[in-house]
Amino acid sequence: MSVRRLAEDQFQPAAFAFNDENATWADKTIQKYPEGRQQSAVIPLLMRAQEQDGWVTRAAIEKIANMLDMAYIRVLEVATFYTQFQLGPVGTRAHIQVCGTTPCMLRGSEGLMSVCKSKIHHHPFERNAEGTLSWEEVECLGACVNAPMVMIGKDTYEDLTPERLSEIIDTFDAGNGASITPGPQIDRHFSSPEGGPTSLTEEAPKTKTRAKKAETEAVSAPAAPTEAARPKSTDAETNAALKTPVTAPKAAAKNAKAVEEQPGVAAPVPATAKPSLEDKNRPAGIDKPATPDDLKLISGVGPKIEGTLHELGIFTFAQVAGWKKAEREWVDGYLNFKGRIDRDDWVKQAKALAKGGEAEYIKVFGKKPR
Ligand code: FES
C-alpha cells in the first residue's frame, strides 16, 4: 500500500472552483441529503473535483470543506483514505491502478507492474516524459476471480497478460482508450469459466406436470415491463413508499394484537400528533433581535430547522439553553424529531455557545461546532 500524502507545494494550484456545470451539480447533490447531514456529500464532491481537474488538490479539499461546513482535516482524511482519489497530478490519458493483492499477485500482477515500469516510469505516481501516463499499485479491487487485473478510470481490465496490458497502455496513450472493451480480456463471459460454462450446460428435462405448469404461467403471467416502460417514481413517491409499513394492514393489526396480549410487553405507542401552538409547554418566543445567533452551529440544526425555530420566535442560544424537559419535548414533537433534541443534546450545545461561542464549544466538546 502506498503512502498517501498531498502533492508537494510546487504542484498545488492557488485556488479551486467548480465550473458552472459542476457547481450546479454540487448544489443539487448537497440538497439530496437530510438537514444537518450535508457532509455526506463529501465523497461525490471530491470525485467531481477530481474528474474536473484530474486529481484532488489541496485547494479543492479546502473549498469542499467550506461548502460542507467541515474541518479541513475531515475532508483530507476522506481524500487520503480512498485510493480512488489521486492526491497529485497523474497521466492525462491514463492512470493505471495495478492490483497487487494476493490473488492477483499469484496470477501475475508483478509482470503487469514490470510492464508499467518499463513503459511509463520506474516509480509509481511518476508520469512518463509526455505526462500522459502514470501508474500505481493498489489493494484488491474486487475482481479477484478474473485476476490479474488493473483499473483505469472507472473501468477494470481483467484476465491480463503483460502483452495485453502493454497493448492497452499503448491504446490509451494514443487517445483511443474508449475503443477497448473493459472486463475480461480473454474468452470469458463476466466471471464464468474460461471458454464457457462447464456445468449446468443443459436445461433439465421437464416432467409433464412441470411443463404444463410452465405453460399455464406463461399464458397467465403479465409480461414483465421493460425498464423503459417501467413508471419512474419521484423522490417524493419513493419516500412515501419507504414510510409505508411493509406488513399488510390486516397482518399489522393481528401482530399488534399479539404483542398487546403478551404479558409484560407494552402496547405499541400510537404516532403522536403535532403539538398545538397554543400548548402551555411551547417555549416562549421573542421578537427577532438585530443580530440573532447562528442556530445552525448546534449540531442537528440546518437552515430549514433554523427557519422553523425562527417562526417559533427562537433566535438565541440562550433561549435553547433554557429549555426545560417539557419544552424540549414540545419542540421535539413539533419538529417530529423523535427524541433527537435530547440525543444531540441541544441544550448542552446551546449553553456552551451562549457562554463563550465557538471557543467554549470546542472546550466542552473537543471539536468545532457542526
Ligand atoms: S486481488 Fe486483485 S482484484 Fe482482488
Domain boundaries, the chain: 9-81, 94-184, 209-220+236-267, 295-365
State if residue 96 touches ligand 1 by the CB under 6 angstroms criterion.
Answer: no
Nearest atom, ligand 1, residue 146 CA: 3
Same fold, 9-81 and 94-184: no
Q: Is the pLDDT of residue 178 over 70?
A: yes
Q: Is the pLDDT of residue 247 over 90?
A: no
Mean pLDDT of the chain, nearest integer: 85
d(CA 328, CA 204): 66
pLDDT of 304: 76
What dotted CATH number matches 94-184? 3.40.30.10
pLDDT of 265: 45
State if residue 45 touches ligand 1 by the CB under 6 angstroms criterion.
Answer: no
pLDDT of 104: 98
pLDDT of 227: 45
State if residue 149 touches ligand 1 by the CB under 6 angstroms criterion.
Answer: yes
How far is C-alpha 38 from the geometric centre of its chain's CA atoms? Answer: 11
How far, in Å, is the centroid of ligand 1 from the Cα of 54?
A: 25
How far, in Å, is the centroid of ligand 1 from the Cα of 143?
A: 5
d(CA 83, CA 92): 17
Once rounded to an integer, what is the mean pLDDT over residues 220-249?
A: 47
State if residue 108 touches ligand 1 by the CB under 6 angstroms criterion.
Answer: no
State if residue 318 touches ligand 1 by the CB under 6 angstroms criterion.
Answer: no
pLDDT-based confidence at residue 138 (cuts at 50, 70, 90) = very high
Whether the model pTM is above 0.85: no
State if residue 103 touches ligand 1 by the CB under 6 angstroms criterion.
Answer: yes
Task: Name the amino acid, one letter, at 296.
Answer: K
Task: Name the amino acid, one letter, at 300.
Answer: G
**Does residue 183 sit in helix, strand or coil?**
strand
State if residue 138 touches ligand 1 by the CB under 6 angstroms criterion.
Answer: no
State if residue 152 touches ligand 1 by the CB under 6 angstroms criterion.
Answer: no
Q: Is the pLDDT of residue 221 over 60?
A: no
Highest mean pLDDT, choosing among 159-168, 184-193, 229-238, 246-255: 159-168
Nearest atom, ligand 1, residue 103 CA: 1
> Mutate which of 104, 139, 156, 191 to test ligand 1's pocket (most atoms within 8 Å of Cβ)?
104
d(CA 345, CA 61): 30
Name the CATH topology of 9-81: Arc Repressor Mutant, subunit A (1.10.10)
pLDDT of 204: 72
Are the C-beta atoms of residues 369 and 297 closer than 8 Å to each other? Answer: yes
Cell of 115: 510492464
pLDDT of 222: 52
